[in-house]
Chains A and B, each alone.
Chain A
Amino acid sequence: MIMKKIILIPVFVFISLLADSHIGSPGVTFEGKAGSYSVMVLITPPDVIPGTAIIHIYTKGTGIESIWAKPVYWFAGSKGTPSADEMLPVANEPGHYQGLVWLMEAGTSGITLEIKGSADSGSVLVPVMAVSTTQREMPTSLKWILFALCVFLVGLMITIISVSVSDGLVKPGETITSKIVRKRWIGAGVSAVLLVLILWGGKSWWDGWASDYKRYMYKPLRAYSTVSQSRGRNMLELRIDTTRHSSLNYTRKLSYVVPDHGKLMHMFLVRAGSMDVFAHLHPQRKDSATYITPLPPLPNGKYLIFADITRLSGFSETIPDTIEIDNKIPATLASMDSSTLNRDDTYFITNPFSTSKTNQTVTDGIVICGKPGIKTSLPDGSTAIWEHAASESIISGKLYGLSFTILDENGKPAKLDPYLGMMGHAVVMKDDGSVYIHLHPVGSYSMASQQTMLNRFEKETGPVNWAKLTLPAVFMDSINQVVAQLEAMSEEDRNKKLMGDMQHQVDGDHPEHSIVTFPYAFPSAGNYRIWIQMKRNGKILNSAFDAVVE
């Protein structure tokens, strides 16, 4: 197959919406246990640092006495934690608590939640990437109010200065001569000039402040993707531009990338607009800033690329890019859902996004995406259901446990296997490309990020000693070895290793392993597609669902 590649398309508008390890979806979700209490958590980090994160906690647990939250920073260590703040119960909503936590510095932080109850107490750490992502404009009404106050203050000050050098020096009862009046006008003129100069100075100061802020604002890493042929296969190479870091230089260093679920990079390709083609790949590292992967036989079109990485610092982020795949001879696809590549890589072709509330009929082996509450057939004979009543609308900003049940050929609950150490992976995307997120049953945070912070807080207490960090080349080498070892393991051994390393439950509250739940809050109204990836009978089982969020 001949493929032409690389058409670098100007990076999409959504890049401005990008916030840490997801795009356009700033909320961090968590589902799991703190002590014996099951909780679902939604954290909305501030878009300006220093700022406050809003925390919502939902629990069905009984006997909870209090819930406390505090921020932790990877670089500051466990001792660098301020006292916790109590999260307060929300009136008339049993089991719902909320509160604020202040994030004062940019970097990898986390919110530690501690639940104290009659049975026991326990804590969880939810990673939050603290970065400034927004530059606000002043609201027009405030602009006019401040302008009016400014004009009044300037006018009053000119008056004050003019009378201070004239009338104010005349004893009560003495005549105000024309000389005094002249002084008054001179005072007014001179002070007006001075005040204009002062205002001009103030404006330059403000401008300087704004440009400094812009400079240190979080900017997503830029990447340049190319496709080339090698040994009859199409290879995608992603080169990351490391020259544009303006802040968090250590925190975001690419030499310190650590594996998440055993992979250095999780790359997702989605055909732009129709969202009908989806691929989940795991590129290999060529050098610290270059990643390479064989491409599955994807149909022509423009693709959005989302590449997720996490560092030793716990800083995880998504690197966005686009490529145009232009096969000279149209690809004949052996299967619409094949894993002809690496055992963990997969791609998947479905019908384009549709807003109809009923399922379309299956044609030409293309998998039809499910709708809330309606069964959909999957290529291996099983069926999947999104456990959400079709009549019940989905509201943006509300935290949902998105539950998916898999039934086998006989309509009985299917037994699912772990896939990369989890019972399921999900990707949620909005049809305009403005929202992208990679979810797990435990939430939307990077688990490698959680792990790296927990490891550090267990072993060290004080601030990071940058000078003592392992040299980049040595670090990369040892990580490459770990990844290679994992690659060489059998599926069973590897799952054992991956699940053992992660201090979390693989599947929330569903030990029967036929239902997988992903905690998520859709950030805005619109058309979304959710791809669910699970493993059954040793094979990756893909399904997709469409949702119209109000």
Chain B
Amino acid sequence: MQNISIPSSSVLDQSQSKVGQAGIPFYLFATVLCSLSIMIGLVWDISWHMSIGRDGLFSSPHLAIYLGGVTAGLFSGYRVLKITFAGTPLERAKTVKFWGVFHASLGNLFCIWGAIAMITSAPFDDWWHSSYGLDVTILSPPHTVLLLGMIMIQFGAIISVLAYQNLNAEPVRQARISQQGYTILFSLSAGFVLTMIYTIGSEYLSRHNMHGVFFYHVASFIFPLFLIAFSVSSKSKWGATYAAIVYTVFLMLMNWILPLFPATPKLGPVLNPITTFQPFDFPLLILFPAIAIDLITQYAKHNRWLNVLYYGVGFLIAFLIFQWPFANVLMASKGHWFFGTSKWYFGSDPNWEFRYAFGDWSISTGMDLVIGLLIALGISIFSSLVGLSWGNWMKKIVR
């Protein structure tokens, strides 16, 4: 790593004024679209595995994922090469220099890393299947490499938007329309990351788990971290809320659209002979804790530790009071299309008595519940602490 060359003050002035004049760069839209493409592909792929069961390397959901990964990687790679070898001083001033030669924005670096990780996962996964069998699980080492790659690309989209947003805020205020554009792009990219995180944790977040404390442990670990980071780093007052809205709307749309298409199991044994794509899951009600978090960000101007406490407690209470009773609604919906609760793996017995009911083993009661929720609170506070630090870092990204 070498020191960055110091631009002259004229370049500085130029850069600040140029930022003010430029609209939203095209590559930001492209990166956010890549993030969306990956997310659609992933949810579709999960539904594919629940409904059809088998796929090839070039199945449609996979293509959507690769399209997102490859496009983001190529866009970023091209930008890095262009700025490195043919960049103007102004363009270079907005990048970091690495390995002594290259100039890249942080967002580009994340996207490149993600694309290469996704490429790496392909031969790794292929070998894995030949050695340990074909896909039967979401989380395996090669899938984790793929997931990390996808998250990094999505994260790259957020960082790219943030760098522009942060730079745009000061010292040169841009036209309001542009700031709104950044807010929308940020909300979208943040919402897609939330969906990704939820998808990864979804094995522990099904409706059958919602009356057990482990569900709240997992949720308290993953959500405050991201919601608070988004709330703090967004220039809008409602960073977490907007991201949660994107997450909610995206999942509901996927739930409604997927079952419109036919699909029959191509693998045996089949215990549930379905004929259409299975929906994914109804979104968790993180919209409510997201609102609570944004309100805390707006109004709590105490010291850092007190804020962390507010965030941690605020998240768990706002989540618990909505999600716990809502679990009963999901169970009572008995497969209503609105909730997508008909979802059932083709290899599972559809007449299982607990399909729309909580089993004794999945409900936490008495001291287990009290202790479990206290642990969830601890996790939520810890997650809030990390989320706050992370958000404060994201607020400062300018390259």
A residues sitting closer than 8 Å to B (CB atoms) are: 48-52, 70-73, 75-77, 79-83, 85, 102, 104-105, 132, 135-136, 138-139, 142, 145-146, 149-150, 152-153, 156-157, 159-160, 162-165, 167-176, 181, 184-185, 188, 202, 205-206, 209-210, 213, 463
A72 to B267 Cα, complex, angstroms:
10
A170 to B119 Cα, complex, angstroms:
32
Question: By the criterion CB–CB under 8 Å, are A156 and B109 in contact?
Answer: yes
Question: By the criterion CB–CB under 8 Å, are B3 and A73 in contact?
Answer: no
Residue B6 CB within 8 A of the other chain: yes
Residue B304 CB within 8 A of the other chain: no
State whether A71 and B268 are in contact (beta carbons under 8 Å apart), knowing that A48-B133, A152-B116, A163-B109 are contacts in the complex.
yes
- CB-CB < 8 A to B110: which residues of A? 160
- CB-CB < 8 A to B270: which residues of A? 76, 79-82
- CB-CB < 8 A to A71: which residues of B? 268
Question: By the criterion CB–CB under 8 Å, are B268 and A132 in contact?
Answer: no
Question: By the criterion CB–CB under 8 Å, are B4 and A73 in contact?
Answer: no
State whether A159 and B99 are in contact (beta carbons under 8 Å apart), knowing that A83-B264, A188-B1 are contacts in the complex.
yes
Question: By the criterion CB–CB under 8 Å, are B1 and A162 in contact?
Answer: yes
CB distance from A453 to the nearest CB of B (A): 13
Which B36-75 residues have C-beta < 8 A from chain A?
A: 53-54
- CB-CB < 8 A to A164: which residues of B? 106, 393, 397
Residue of B with least CB distance to A159: B98
Question: By the criterion CB–CB under 8 Å, are B271 and A80 in contact?
Answer: yes
- CB-CB < 8 A to A184: which residues of B? 1
CB distance from A405 to the nearest CB of B (A): 42
- CB-CB < 8 A to A83: which residues of B? 264-266
Residue of B with least CB distance to A81: B268
A205 to B264 Cα, complex, angstroms:
34
Residue B141 CB within 8 A of the other chain: yes
CB distance from B171 to the nearest CB of A (A): 9
A163 to B100 Cα, complex, angstroms:
13
Question: By the criterion CB–CB under 8 Å, are B98 and A48 in contact?
Answer: no
Residue B206 CB within 8 A of the other chain: no
- CB-CB < 8 A to B109: which residues of A? 156, 159-160, 163
CB distance from A72 to the nearest CB of B (A): 7
9 CB < 8 A contacts A-B: A82-B268, A83-B266, A149-B120, A157-B113, A163-B109, A171-B167, A172-B12, A172-B93, A213-B132
- CB-CB < 8 A to A163: which residues of B? 1, 96, 98, 106, 109
- CB-CB < 8 A to B112: which residues of A? 156
State whether A150 and B120 are in contact (beta carbons under 8 Å apart), knowing that A80-B270, A104-B267, A163-B106 are contacts in the complex.
yes
Closest 4 CB pairs of A and B: A173-B12, A76-B269, A80-B269, A172-B93
Residue B134 CB within 8 A of the other chain: yes
Question: By the criterion CB–CB under 8 Å, are A173 and B7 in contact?
Answer: yes
- CB-CB < 8 A to B386: which residues of A? none
Residue B131 CB within 8 A of the other chain: yes
- CB-CB < 8 A to A139: which residues of B? 127
A163 to B97 Cα, complex, angstroms:
8
- CB-CB < 8 A to A165: which residues of B? 393
Question: By the criterion CB–CB under 8 Å, are B271 and A168 in contact?
Answer: no
Contact pattern, B 1-29, Cβ under 8 Å of A = 1, otherwise 0: 10110110101110110000000000000
| Residue from A48, A145, A172 within 8 A of B132 (CB atoms) | A48
Residue B78 CB within 8 A of the other chain: no
- CB-CB < 8 A to B313: which residues of A? none
- CB-CB < 8 A to A188: which residues of B? 1
Which B114-167 residues have C-beta < 8 A from chain A?
A: 116-117, 119-120, 123-124, 127, 130-136, 140-141, 144, 163, 167
- CB-CB < 8 A to B120: which residues of A? 146, 149-150, 153
State whether A167 and B4 are in contact (beta carbons under 8 Å apart), knowing that A102-B54, A160-B109 are contacts in the complex.
yes
Question: By the criterion CB–CB under 8 Å, are B136 and A104 in contact?
Answer: yes
A50 to B16 Cα, complex, angstroms:
58
A169 to B163 Cα, complex, angstroms:
9
Residue of B with least CB distance to A185: B1
Question: By the criterion CB–CB under 8 Å, are A72 and B268 in contact?
Answer: yes
| Residue from B1, B96, B267, B349 within 8 A of A82 (CB atoms) | B267
- CB-CB < 8 A to A142: which residues of B? 123, 127
A72 to B268 Cα, complex, angstroms:
7
CB distance from A105 to the nearest CB of B (A): 7
Instruction: Give 8 new A-B contacts, CB below 8 A, not counting A76-B268, A149-B119, A173-B11.
Output: A50-B135, A76-B269, A76-B270, A80-B270, A139-B127, A142-B123, A159-B109, A213-B132
Question: By the criterion CB–CB under 8 Å, are B96 and A167 in contact?
Answer: yes
A79 to B90 Cα, complex, angstroms:
67
* B132, B270, B393, B398: residue with the most chain A Cβ atoms closer than 10 Å: B132
Question: By the criterion CB–CB under 8 Å, are B113 and A170 in contact?
Answer: no
Residue B94 CB within 8 A of the other chain: yes
- CB-CB < 8 A to A105: which residues of B? 269
Question: By the criterion CB–CB under 8 Å, are A136 and B167 in contact?
Answer: no
- CB-CB < 8 A to B53: which residues of A? 82, 104
* B7, B123, B268: residue with the most chain A Cβ atoms closer than 10 Å: B268
- CB-CB < 8 A to B1: which residues of A? 159, 162-163, 184-185, 188
- CB-CB < 8 A to B90: which residues of A? 172
Residue B396 CB within 8 A of the other chain: yes
- CB-CB < 8 A to A80: which residues of B? 268-271
Question: By the criterion CB–CB under 8 Å, are A172 and B399 in contact?
Answer: yes
Residue B181 CB within 8 A of the other chain: no
Question: By the criterion CB–CB under 8 Å, are B7 and A172 in contact?
Answer: yes
CB distance from B99 to the nearest CB of A (A): 7
A181 to B167 Cα, complex, angstroms:
22
Question: By the criterion CB–CB under 8 Å, are A149 and B116 in contact?
Answer: yes
Residue of B with least CB distance to A205: B141
- CB-CB < 8 A to B141: which residues of A? 202, 205-206, 209
- CB-CB < 8 A to B267: which residues of A? 82, 102, 104
CB distance from B94 to the nearest CB of A (A): 5
- CB-CB < 8 A to A146: which residues of B? 120, 123-124
State whether A156 and B113 are in contact (beta carbons under 8 Å apart), knowing that A76-B268, A76-B271, A171-B167 are contacts in the complex.
yes
A50 to B123 Cα, complex, angstroms:
18
Question: By the criterion CB–CB under 8 Å, are A132 and B133 in contact?
Answer: yes
Question: By the criterion CB–CB under 8 Å, are B134 and A82 in contact?
Answer: no
- CB-CB < 8 A to A209: which residues of B? 132, 140-141
Residue B273 CB within 8 A of the other chain: yes
State whether A172 and B15 are in contact (beta carbons under 8 Å apart), knowing that A51-B134, A104-B268 are contacts in the complex.
yes
